[in-house]
Amino acid sequence: MALPQVKSLQDCVDYSKVVEPFLPQLYQLPHHIWESIDSLDALRELYVTTNPLISGFAASLVVGLLALIVSEINRNYSQIDRLWSILPNLYVVHIALWARVAGLPHGRVDLIALCTTLWSIRLTYNYWRRGGYNIGSEDYRWMIVKAQLNSVVWFIFNVTFISFIQSILLYLFSCVPAYVILLSSQFEPEVQAVDMVFAGVEILLVLSEWISDGQQWAYQTAKYKYKDTGKLTSGYTSAELDRGFITTGLWAYSRHPNFFAEQTIWFMLYQWSCFATNTPYSWAGIGAVLLVLLFQGSTNLTENITSGKYPEYKAYQNHVGMFIPKTLIPYATPGPKVIRSSELIKRAEQKQKHKKKQG
């Protein structure tokens, strides 16, 4: 039996019922794949008879291993970065495909797959236009971290965090909530009105990412054009471009509106699974929580680098929240400090008194 026998919606998030009984399949899977490797029918049967959460986890381990091997051969540590916009969607599509092949209700997971596919297309495009898939491209932050560690510690860091932990994380925040919703579909097989609300929120969040990333792309393009040619792009002033970072549009209210949306997309998928199972919280949220922690760490690193490059960034940090807006008043570049004439007179008097004391 590939799926657990659940008797209530709450059973769908009972770890001891929906995960633990299927863990032996993980250990047996390599042997079963080897036995079925020469037959497509046998592989299809193995796919259907293996719990989809287990086969998804096995895939994340394989991806982690391949990322480790390639990164050590190429000395390029952005292998998981290149897959970040692709794998979560594939895990959700895997759940939807498995439901179809197994003859189970799949309308709700199909809807999730539609949302994650839109997310994947947008993020993959943005990563591509920034040169992420160019040969040799790498996240500059890896080299900064690597410079602070010796070779042994860096290798351990690559094995654990960069390759395997990140790969498993992509699985946790996507495949796990989708699996829970698949289980709940045994009780409510049809798409509900609330499912459409969740889907609508997800699509709006993807739209906000598209807007914020588009604003940043336009600014960075104008900035580098100005640096290279001295020519201003329409809509930008030299002061804006000399500042070095964007502070307009959504960025006037959040220092990282795209990151805020990214975290919220997967947290909403977890909340979707909670609603589907009529539970306020569950273990299915571990991926969403870990994703938030990852963004906290990586964004703090990015901001430490940015604040060292651009003098005005400190003022920007003071006024604008990292993810959630501090205020509805948009950021404005601080103007020069105006010193009143009375203040100048007072300073002159103080200087005179100081001179008399010295005399």
Q: How would you class 137 by CB atoms within 10 Å of its CB: exposed for 0-12, middle for 13-18, buried for 19 or more? A: middle
User: Please, what is the average pLDDT of the chain?
Assistant: 94
What lies within 8 Å, CB to CB, of 33 at 6+ separation is: 43, 46
* Domain positions in the chain: 10-345
pLDDT tens digits along 116-130? 999 999 999 999 999
CA dist 34 and 95 (Å) reads 23
Closest CA to 260 of 191, 195, 322: 322
Q: Are 290 and 263 in contact (CB under 8 A)?
A: no
CA dist 38 and 35 (Å) reads 8
pLDDT tens digits along 33-89? 999 999 999 999 999 999 999 999 999 999 999 999 999 999 999 999 999 999 999
N residues, the chain: 359
Closest CA to 94 of 20, 102, 185, 119: 102
* Section 278-298 average pLDDT: 97
Instruction: State residue 153's pLDDT score.
Output: 98
**Range in 67-71, 118-122, 318-322, 333-337 the model is least confident about:** 333-337
pLDDT tens digits along 254-266? 999 999 999 999 9
Distance of CA 72 to the CA centre of its chain: 24
Q: Please say if the pLDDT value at position 350 is more than 90.
A: no
Rg of the chain over CA atoms, in angstroms? 26
Q: Please say if the pLDDT value at position 354 is more than 80.
A: no
How is residue 341 written in tokens? 């004439």
What lies within 8 Å, CB to CB, of 346 at 6+ separation is: none
**Range in 7-11, 60-64, 117-121, 351-355 the model is least confident about:** 351-355
Q: Please say if the pLDDT value at position 156 is more than 60.
A: yes
DSSP 114-154: HHHHHHHHHHHHHHHHTTTTSTT---HHHHHHHTTS-HHHH
Instruction: State residue 313's pLDDT score.
Output: 96
pTM: 0.90
